[in-house]
Every structure is written in structure tokens, then in C-alpha cells.
Amino acid sequence: MRISVVIPTHNEASAISRVLADIPANLVTEVLVVDSNSNDGTPEIAAKMGARVLSEPRRGYGRACLTGLAAANAPDVVVFLDGDYSDRPAELPLLLAPIIEGSADITLGSRLGNQRISGALPWHAVFGNWLAAGLIRLLYGLKINDLGPFRAGRAPILRELALQEETYGWAVEMILKGALQGFRVVEVPVSYYPRIGKSKISGTVKGTVGAAWFILSRIVRYYFRRRRMDTSRAA
């Protein structure tokens, strides 16, 4: 099974070497670091450690993930992982196990279990995840608790989902489209640690508000879009 790991980065020089060092080399076929205008040496560090570095000057977390997905070299599974060392790449076998065993199409690393280190997620991030996951359970019937960035999916299915969210909406698009199209989305408990460096999202008011708006609005938008489609087909 060919496994590609996509890591979006922007000024993660203090963490990227630890992230790359922890990726299980015997499991992963390639590592793509998609860098957005870092000026602290992140791309150079990643390249020296053997990652394939792609430059993505267009801003947006989702944009970087889409660039990495498009550039992956014939993968069977694509993994998305942050470059701040808050998730542990060594736990990749846990995330991949349901896919490899054939019981899942998409897996999500849940940061809200007993493995989470106190303070790793600020209170507003915990509340936002609780609210968004609750809406997804209510509207889509999908039993999840977290929208963590450590996730994986079968490559053919990711292509079929036609992912296009370029900013914070990326956090829910894969989940919602997967649920609506009947794919098996499974949550896997993973450990979670305080990130190295300041978060570009939860570490700022602008990032927090922007993420909340995009995530919650997409949850509602995709739900009513599917309702309209179902109504049209019935008519």
C-alpha cells in the first residue's frame, strides 16, 4: 500500500525536523511538505531531511492540503498532518489501521480522549470542536467528537469527493462530503500535545473567529445543499 503524507507549513522551523523524524519510514512511501512563504528556513530543513518540498504561495490551509493531494505520486492512502508537532506522527499506524483492515474509508484522529495533554487545546478550541461535532452528529448522523487535522483517506475516495475548500472549511469538507456520499468515516483516538510555536488559528482572535465561521457555515451549507438536491430528485 502506497502512503503519502502531506504536511502544510508556514514558519515551522522549530518543529518540522521533529515531525519528519517521527514519521515511520517503513510505512510511508513519500512525504510532501507544502510550504506557504516561510521565511524561517522551514523548506530547507524539510528538504535536508528527505521530504519533497512544494511551494504554495497562495495562502490558506486547505489550499496547501489540496496542492499536496494533487502532487502525491499515485498513493493508495493520503495522510494529512500538521507541522507543529502537536500530533505525533509515530501514531500513524493507529490512524491507518481501520483503513488497512478494510473497515474505514476516512479516519480522523480525535484529540479529545484521555491521551490529550492538559492545555494542549485552548478552551475556545475545545468548545468550537464540541459545537461543530455536535452539529455534525445532529444533521448528518455521524458520530464524531473532534475535527482534528491528523487524518487519512483512501486516495480514490478523496478524488471522488472533489475537495475544494481552500481555507478553514477544509476541516469539515472531507467529513461532510464523505458522510453524505455514504463512505465510512471513523474516529481514532490519538494523543495531542501543546504545539511548538504559536498557532496561526487558535492562537489569534482573527484566526479563531474565521475558523469558526467557515466551519459552522459549511456544516449548515452542505446539509441544506443536499436537502435541495434530494427534493429536486424526488420532484
We report the CATH number of the domain holding residue 185 as 3.90.550.10
Residue 55 has pLDDT above 80, yes or no: yes
Residue 111 has pLDDT above 90, yes or no: no
- Can you give the residue range of the structural domain that contains 82? 3-234
pTM for the model: 0.89
pLDDT digits (tens, 9 = 90+) for 41-52: 999 999 999 999
Domain count of the fold of the chain: 1
**pLDDT, mean of residues 177-192:** 93
- Rounded Cα distance, 50 and 31, in Å: 8
pLDDT digits (tens, 9 = 90+) for 156-178: 999 999 999 998 889 899 999 99
**pLDDT, mean of residues 133-142:** 92
Read out DSSP for 28-84?
Answer: -SEEEEEE-S--SSHHHHHHHTT-EEEE--S--HHHHHHHHHHHS-S-SEEEE--SS
**pLDDT, mean of residues 7-23:** 96
Residue 12 has pLDDT above 80, yes or no: yes
Give the CA distances from residue 100 to residues 49, 96, 200, in Å, rounded to whole numbers and listed in that order.
27, 6, 33
Torsion of CA 11, 14, 15, 17, to 10 degrees: 100
